[in-house]
Structure 1
Amino acid sequence: MSSWRRYDATLFPIFHERFEQKWGKGSAPFLDPGVFFEDQPRPRAQWVNVDTGAAVAVVPIWADENGRHRSFGVFYLPPSGDIWVLRPGLTEYVEAGDALTEEQAVLRNDAFRKAVAHAKEFIFGHEQA
């Protein structure tokens, strides 16, 4: 049986801390633990390894100032420190804000499923994803 478990509470602050240690202060607003859970961008998924303390997260990320052009980042926290960015391939979408069209929802959900599948393959291997 695997030691990996889904984790559906707020994002671990350590994701934000390690990201900013590696790439600089202010570089990870999408991982900010200071934002209330309800205000965090959606969708997201997290897993934690209860034996080692390692963790994996799939979160919406953005590079533009208005935050509309997004993709899904897959991040791995090794138990000994550091943060790895796992590359799930193309997962870009446009966040519509209040007026989400059906097409935009489909693109976002497809991108999310692709990123989650990549995370599960990393965690559980190709056969169990």
Structure 2
Amino acid sequence: MSAPSRPLPPGWTRYDGPLLTIWRSRYEAVHGEAAANSFADGMLVRDHRRPIAQWINYGLRSAVLVAPASPAAWPVQRFAIYYAPPREGFQTVETARHEWMPRGPRGSTTDADAFTGAVEAAEQFLQVEATFGALG
């Protein structure tokens, strides 16, 4: 994975540990108790879908996640970017599609390409969100 082109906004840090519990609790606060069990192959319940990338801002109680979004059996796999805004909520960040076909032709986009693109988009989102938040 390539290094970020710019430093992360103040207060944000990359978190390389296990899936943060904020994802399940925020998703279920929005969609109901036990709703996370069926979301994206249970990705928010069991830390089994890899790779993932996470950033956290402890002061804002906010986080960003890049994780697989489509069930493992689907012919097209996708990474999505999720945002836990300050204090409460759960949002999917809309960006270009970061996808690949596991049985795609040679030379097509791979899972590593899709993951790298999603991580870069998440870091860009953090920059924009920090700028927008500073203006408000």
- TM-score, normalized by length of structure 1? 0.73
Match of 2:38 among 27, 33, 52: 27
Unmatched 5+ stretches in structure 2: 1-8, 130-136
Q: Of the candidates 29, 41, 54, which is equivalent to residue 46 of structure 1?
A: 54
Residue 124 of structure 1 pairs with residue 127 of structure 2:
yes
Counterpart residue type for residue 44 of structure 2: L
CA displacement 1:32-86 (0-9 Å, x = unmatched): 2x44xxxx2221100001321210010011147x356421110110122110100
Aligned partners of 1:88 and 1:114 also within 8 Å: no
Deviations 1:66-123 (A, max 9, x none): 3564211101101221101002211122457xxxx9757x521111111111110111
- Shift in alpha-carbon separation, 1:69–1:47, aligned structure 2, 3 A: same
Aligned-pair Cα RMSD in Å: 2.7
Tell me which residue corresponds to 1:112: 115
| Counterpart contact for 1:15–1:31, Cα < 8 Å | yes
Instruction: State the identity %.
Output: 29
Cα pair distance change 1:67/1:16, threshold 3 Å: farther
- What does residue 79 of structure 1 align with? 86
Matching residue of 1:7 = 15
Instruction: For 1:30, give the aligned amino acid.
Output: M
Match of 2:100 in 1: 93
* Poorly superposed stretches of 4+, deviation over 4 Å: 101-104
Letter in 1 for 2:24: H
**Contact in 2 for aligned 1:48/1:55 (Cα 8 Å):** yes
SS of residue matched to 1:10 = coil
Distance in 1 (alpha carbons) for counterparts of 2:81 and 2:111: 15
Deviates more, 1:54-63 or 1:12-21: 12-21
Residue equivalent to 2:3? none
